[in-house]
Structure 1
Amino acid sequence: MRPLLKYCGNHSLSDLQATLESNADFIGVVFAESKRQVTADQVVEWLKEVELSPQQQLVGLFVNPSVTEIDDVLQRVPLQVIQCHGNESKELVSSIKQTFGLPVWKVIHHHKGGLEQMKSFHGVCDGFVVDSKVKGQWGGTGETFDWSSVPPYLEEGKRQGVPVFIAGGINPNNVTKLLSFHPTGIDISSGIERDGQKDKAEISRLEERLKNNE
């Protein structure tokens, strides 16, 4: 069984065309301030040109959002998963989940207290994304963290009964090493890009590595 696959940071129609034709289970768009930020209006226009398969779900990434901010996007964009990628509290995540009735994932930026932070969200989150901690940035940096730290996160995910995606600097050249830890999911953004755009050749190369590892 290959891990769940999420391609994040889609920020153009061509990005969506490339990832929607892939084997990705989840397609991510970023509504928070970043170099891959998109607007609800942009996504609405792109979705008129492409279509998710029944096996794919659209994930919206937010950083320390208000409920109003998420509601504004959901009024127009048919998100199926909300991803909280900042330092949101358990109370805020719980409120978002109750308000919108959608699955909510929480990022854990890997650090010494990351596992305890993850435990504190037990019963609230429907999934976790463990990403690199880079000063001044919330994600999408292309930097990995020490993957020998992955197993305890995966064990905690099993205990909570939710998937754990590993993010940060994953690409076709290093994904085989990560797969040796048997993550339940992998989350890739810059690792399938060329010149800042999602690249079908890089996607194919990565998916071939996943297939050969099954």
Structure 2
Amino acid sequence: MIIKVCGLKDTENVNSLLQNCSPDMLGMIFYSKSPRFIGESVHESNFFSSQGQDRVGVFVDSAFSEILKTVQEFQLDVIQLHGNEDADFVKNIKEALDVKVIKVFRIGKELRMEDLRPFDGLADYFLFDTETSSFGGSGRRFDWQLLEAYDLQTPYLLSGGIASDDVGELVKLQKKHPKMAGIDINSKFELEPGIKDVELVKTFVEKLRAQENEN
């Protein structure tokens, strides 16, 4: 199961996560209205020394030129589109840049398959997050039973209010839903916005990996 830790903005905190937790993806938010915005003070590719993890840049309705510039500055491996970007925008990203694309869909009371279909086979992953008035980091969960309606080919990451005591449920959920490629954790693992509780993440990752191996 892919483990993505999102909303990172402190070099020391990131390097501690790398040394202790071995996540698969590390997410940096390039959306100025987010409390986890990486900020103007950090614009360098050596923000952290990757150990094989994918660097993910999270964007909300950003201009193509801004994404291109940020990919180069931060040597991003993955672009996460969290706004209202259409399929043509994703196609343009894929054609112009050597990156993977995660397209986010915010889930309320239903999983609207008609919204997803234009992106099927185009995005590398979908990410399902809880619908809120803002863009992510709410700490709230949507009804995971809605995933029963998913019938497309694109693998997805699950996000939205995932907490340290959800390990057993997540492992069972992935066994039931083979297109569930992984999870995205954020606000439930924080000391403050943008700063993760490394020990909590470490314990969670160890428990998750152990239960995966048992199954």
What TM bracket, shorter-length normalisation?
Answer: 0.7 to 0.9
Structure 1 position 146 matched with structure 2 position 138: no
- Aligned partner (choices 77, 81, 84) of residue 80 of structure 1: 77
TM-score (norm 1): 0.87
* Cα drift, residue 86 of structure 1: 0.7
- TM-score, normalised to structure 2's length? 0.87
Task: Give the alignment partner of residue 103 of structure 2, picking from 97, 106, 113.
Answer: 106
What's the secondary structure of 2:49's corresponding residue?
coil
Identify unmatched segments of 5+ residues in structure 2.
Answer: 175-179
Equivalent AA in structure 2 for residue 179 of structure 1: V
Partner of 1:30: 29
Detail structure 1 runs of 4+ shifted over 6 Å in the superposition. none
Over the aligned positions, Cα root-mean-square deviation in angstroms equals 1.8
Residues in 2 aligned to 1:212 and 1:26: alpha-carbon distance in whole angstroms: 19
Q: Is the 8 A contact 1:175 1:206 kept in 2?
A: yes
Shift of 1:192: 1.8
Q: State how 1:121-200 maps to structure 2 within 5 Å.
A: 121-134=119-132, 136-153=133-150, 155-156=151-152, 160=153, 162-182=154-174, 183-196=180-193, 197-200=195-198
Tell me the matched-pair count.
203
User: Can you list the C-alpha shifts for 1:172-205, whole angstroms capped at 9, x where unaligned?
Assistant: 1223223221032100011221233211110122
Distance in 1 separating the partners of 2:16 and 2:164: 16
Assess if the C-alpha contact under 8 Å between 1:132 and 1:167 holds in 2. yes
Give deviations 1:62-101, integer Å, cap 9, x for gaps. Answer: 0011111102212311000111011111111111221213
Q: Give the corresponding residue for 1:5.
A: 3
Secondary structure at the counterpart of residue 10 of structure 1: coil
Indicate the percent of aligned positions where both proteins have the same amino acid: 31
Map Cα deviations across residues 116-160 of structure 1 (whole Å, 9 max, x no partner): 2112212311111100001x211111111101112433x42xxx2
Pair 1:172–1:16, CA change in 2 (3 A): same
After TM superposition, the structure 1 = structure 2 runs for residues 32-51 of structure 1, keeping only pairs within 5 Å, are: 32-33=31-32, 34-39=34-39, 42-44=42-44, 47=46, 50-51=48-49
Match of 1:90 among 68, 87, 90: 87
Q: Distance in 1 between matches of 2:57 and 2:156?
A: 17
> How much does 1:13 deviate?
1.3
Partner of 2:177: none
CA distance in 2, matches of 1:175, 1:62: 28
Change (3 A) 1:101 1:195: closer
One-letter amino acid of the structure 1 residue matched with residue 44 of structure 2:
V
Deviation at 1:113, TM superposition (A): 4.9
